[in-house]
Amino acid sequence: MGVGVPIFLMLAGLFYLFKLKGFYLLHPLKTLRPALKRQGTAGISPIRALCMALAGTLGVGNIVGVATALYLGGAGAIFWMIFSALIAMVLKYAEIVLAVRHRRINQNGCFSGGAPFYIEDGFTVRGFPKIGKLFGCIFASLCLLNALTMGSMLQVNAVASALNHSFHLPAWLVGGVLAVLCGLAVKGGVRRISSVTEKLVPLMTLGFLFLCAAVLCLRYERIPDAVTGIVSEAFSSRSMGGGIVGFLTSNGVRYGVMRGLVSNEAGCGTAPMAHASAEVRSPAAQGVLGLVEVFVDTVLLCTVTALTLLVSGSDIASFGEDGVRTAQAAFVSVLGSFSGYVFAISIFFFGFATILCWGHYGMTSMRAMLGRHQKIRGAEGLFCLLYALSVWIGALISPGSVWRLADAALGIMTIFNLIVLLMMHREVSEETKAYLAVHTKKEKHIQWKDKKHMERTVSPNEYLHRK
């Protein structure tokens, strides 16, 4: 499974890239500009939804994945990380489009959506409602499992380790503080989580980039050699293999150091749960922000991290695949011991934001499993308690066995999600065509099938304003 899922991801990405004619690469500004507007008040703003999703992807995994890519494949691996991101980001776009199209309004008056919902609907409209309900529940239960392991335990374990190494803080204290903070935030629902991540994500990203910029400025004379090395080593077999592995481990999850089967959420069906909460008229508009998410996460942050490690002069192989220690050593070697403390604080914020986002994913998955059951409010309270408990436990245990459990669960989730993405490609194509037609004025009519499967021809504006 560890080899098959990444291959399946790339093939599905290539399919969608050709299906949608690479529109986001050909017209980036025209594609992005309309997506930044908010319409309505039922959900959160598109930018808040983007920040919440970024809170899930940006994390310890970015740093670990980059160090893993360099350790396994050398400097040329970074080229393949960027290449892979440009292909896989279209899967993030497609799953967000479907998540917004098939979302529901929950009892709190907010939108809930994601892979469990469009998986169920995708099979239902094809005459297999029981299979759709079963597969949707399987996906939701696996996502709930990942929220209680990979999204909480593994993140807080890395945070506790970093803070203990720099500040000698006991793990039980770090876990307890994070458990209380995350329990309060998750209990407040999507609005509270998005409010926190909207402030936290720009702050933690800029703080980490500031550290990287300081290193790059002090070692600016080494930047040309680093860039040359990335390009010149890109086509060796070692770099290609290491780059793909590093790409898959870096972004996937906001999770940490997952070897094998991890993506940057493009294709695994988790990030759409954050984007589905946004108030937008066009599903494609929010999907475009998913492209931005992958760009910031991989093309920007991972590339800057890689350059920082390369120009620092630190020995990449000295800590093996322990990416956090590798990055911390690189900063300390250039900026001094003070940067190690700043780096540990950055890891705290990265981990905290990821834990918050996964709390929302877990809550959404639970709602998908229970539907409109009258006891759902009691279940929400129980989930908040269990989630806070998992955060505290994660600071105390060894993560080895938890990684293997979460790795297998994510692989099954990804397979389910990719099958449905390919099965529902026509819906994604319709939304994309209408979105581009409205903003480029090239198309006057859109042909589509309504809910009764009747062929209809309407203007692009009529299509986007349909109920």
Average the pLDDT over each of 147-161, 207-221, 248-262, 350-364 and give the range with the smallest value.
248-262
In a domain, 440, yes or no: no
Residue with tokens 């245990």: 397
460 located within any domain: no
DSSP 3-state of 269: coil
pLDDT at 91 over 70: yes
Measured in whole angstroms, the distance separating CA 47 from the mean position of its chain's CA atoms is 15
Residues 6+ positions from 177 with CB-CB distance below 8 Å: none
| DSSP H helical ranges for 149-236 | 153-167, 171-187, 189-218, 223-232
DSSP state of 33: G
Q: What is the pLDDT of residue 16?
A: 93
Q: Which residues pair with 428 in a beta bridge?
A: none
CA atoms of 435 and 441, how far apart (whole Å): 10
Asked if the structure places residue 445 within a domain, the reply is: no
* Residue 233 DSSP symbol: T
Tens of pLDDT, residue by residue over 321-352, are 566 777 888 888 888 888 888 888 888 888 88
Strands 111-112 and 446-449: unpaired
The answer to the question of residue 433 being in a domain is no
Average pLDDT over all residues of the chain: 76
Question: What single-letter amino acid sits at 119?
Answer: I
Q: Compute the distance between CA of residue 57 and CA of residue 69 in angstroms, rounded to an integer.
A: 17
Residue 438 in any domain: the answer is: no
The 10 Å Cβ neighbour count of residue 276 is: 32
| CA 196 to each of CA 26, 258, 391: distance values in angstroms, whole numbers, following the listed order | 34, 26, 18
Question: Furthest-apart CA pair in the chain: how many Å?
Answer: 67
Q: Which domain holds residue 317?
A: 4-423
Instruction: Specify whether the CB–CB gap between 368 and 114 falls below 8 A.
Output: yes
Average pLDDT over residues 141-146: 87
Nearest to 108, CA basis, from 42, 41, 182: 42
Classified as helix, coil or strand, 446 is strand
**Domain-embedded: residue 190:** yes
Q: Is residue 429 one of the residues assigned to a domain? A: no
| pTM metric for this prediction | 0.81
DSSP state of 44: B
Q: Tokens representing 254? A: 């906001």
Domain count, the chain: 1
434 in any annotated domain: no
Q: What is the CATH number of the domain that holds 357?
A: 1.20.1740
